[in-house]
Structure 1
Amino acid sequence: MRGLLFRSTLSRDIRAPTLPELYTANVSTLPRPVTSGANADLRPAFVSLPAYAFDSFTGGNTNLKPEGSKTFTAGFVVQPRALKDRVQFSVDFYRIRVRDAIGAIGSSTIIQNCLGGGSAQASNPYCQLITFANNDLTNGAIVAVNGANANFAEFRTKGLDFAFSVQQPLNEVSANLPGRLSFTTQATHVIEYRASTDVSLLYPNGVNRAGQTGALFGGTAGLPSWSVNANLDYRVAKFDINAQVRYISQSHQNNALIGPVESGYSTTLFNSINNNIIPAVTYLNLGISYDLGRDGVRSEIYLTVNNVTDKDPPLPAINNNAYYDLLGRSYRVGVRFGF
Structure 2
Amino acid sequence: MAGILDSVDQRTQLVGANRLEILMFRLAGRQLFAINVFKVQEVLQMPKLALMPQRHRFVCGVITLRGKTLPVIDLSQAIGMRPIVPDANSTIIVTEYNRSVQAFLVGGVERILNLNWESVLPPPSGAGRQHYLTAITKADEQIVEIIDVEKVLAEIMPMSNQVSAHKLVDPLLAKAKGREVLLVDDSTVAMHQLKSTMDQLEIRSHSASDGLRALKLLQSWADAGVDVQEKLLMVITDAEMPEMDGYRLTTEIRKDPRLKDLYVVLHTSLSGSFNEAMVKKVGCNSFLSKFQPDKLVDTVRERLLLDEPAG
TM (norm. structure 2) is 0.24
For the pair shown, the structure with the greater C-alpha radius of gyration is 1
TM (norm. structure 1) is 0.23
More helix per residue: 1 or 2?
2
